[in-house]
Structure 1
Amino acid sequence: MQLGISTYTYGWAVGVPGNLPLKPITELDLIRKAQAFGLRLVQIGDNLPLHTLPEQRLQALLEQAGTAGITLEIGARGLTSNHLHHYLGLTKKLNARLLRFVIDGPGYEPEISQVIQIIKKEVSFLEANQITIGLENHDRLKAREFAQIIEGVNSAYVGICLDSVNSMGAGEGLEEIVEQLAPFTVNLHIKDFGIQRLPHLMGFQIDGRPAGQGMLNLPWLLHKLAVYNRCQTAVLEQWVVPEASMQVTLQKEEVWAEESLAYLQSFFKS
Structure 2
Amino acid sequence: MIGLGTYAFFWQHSDQVPEPLSLVGAFEATKALGIDLFQICDYAPLESMGSGELAEAAAAARDLGLTIELGTKGIEPERLTRFLDLAGLFDAHLVRSMLYSPDTRPTLAQAEDWLRAALPGFEASGVDLALETYEQVATDELVALIERIGSERLGVCLDPANVVARLERPRDCVEATARHVKNIHVKDFAFARQAGWVGFTYGGAPMGEGLHDYAHLLATVRPRERGVNEPEVNEIVEHWLSWQGDAETTIRTEREWTRITVEYLRSIA
The verdict on a shared fold, with TM-score over 0.5 as the criterion, is yes
Partners in 1 of 2:30 and 2:172 — Cα distance?
32
Q: In structure 2, what is the Cα distance between the partners aligned to 1:163 and 1:144?
A: 14
Partner of 1:6: 5
Task: Name the structure 2 match of 1:177.
Answer: 173
Distance in 1 between the 2:222 and 2:146 partners?
19
- Does 2:96 align with 1:97? no
Question: 2:214, 2:115 → 1: CA distance?
Answer: 31
Match of 1:235 in 2: 236
Cα distance in 2 for partners of 1:49, 1:191 equals: 24
Q: What SS does the corresponding residue of 1:74 show, helix, strand or coil?
A: strand
Query: Contact 2:77–2:118 (CA<8 Å) still a contact in 1?
Result: no
CA distance in 2: counterparts of 1:66 and 1:236, whole angstroms = 20
- TM-score of the aligned structures, taking structure 2 as reference length: 0.92
Alpha carbons 1:225, 1:231 under 8 Å: kept: no
Identity %: 26
Whether the 8 Å CA contact 2:189–2:202 is kept in 1: the answer is yes
Dislocated runs of 4+, deviation >6 Å = none
> Does the residue aligned with 1:123 lie in a helix, a strand or coil?
helix
Higher mean displacement: 61-70 or 223-232: 223-232
Unaligned runs of 5+ in 2: none
**CA distance, structure 2, for counterparts of residue 43 and residue 5 of structure 1:** 6
Higher mean displacement: 197-206 or 218-227 = 197-206
Q: Could you tell me whether the CA contact under 8 Å between 1:182 and 1:224 is conserved in 2?
A: yes
Higher deviation after alignment, 252-261 or 194-203: 194-203
State yes or no: 1:251 paired with 2:247. no
| C-alpha deviation, 1:123, in angstroms | 2.2
Matches within 5 A, 1:136-155: 136-155=132-151
Q: Give the corresponding residue for 1:86.
A: 82
1:1-270 matched pairs, under 5 angstroms:
2-15=1-14, 20-226=16-222, 229=226, 232-267=233-268
Q: TM-score with structure 1 length normalisation?
A: 0.92
Q: Take 2:169 and 2:45, find their aligned partners in 1: how far apart are those partners?
A: 29
| Residues 220-240 of structure 1, C-alpha deviations (whole Å, 9 max, x = no match) | 111110189455101011011
Q: 2-side partners of 1:50 and 1:113: how far apart?
A: 29
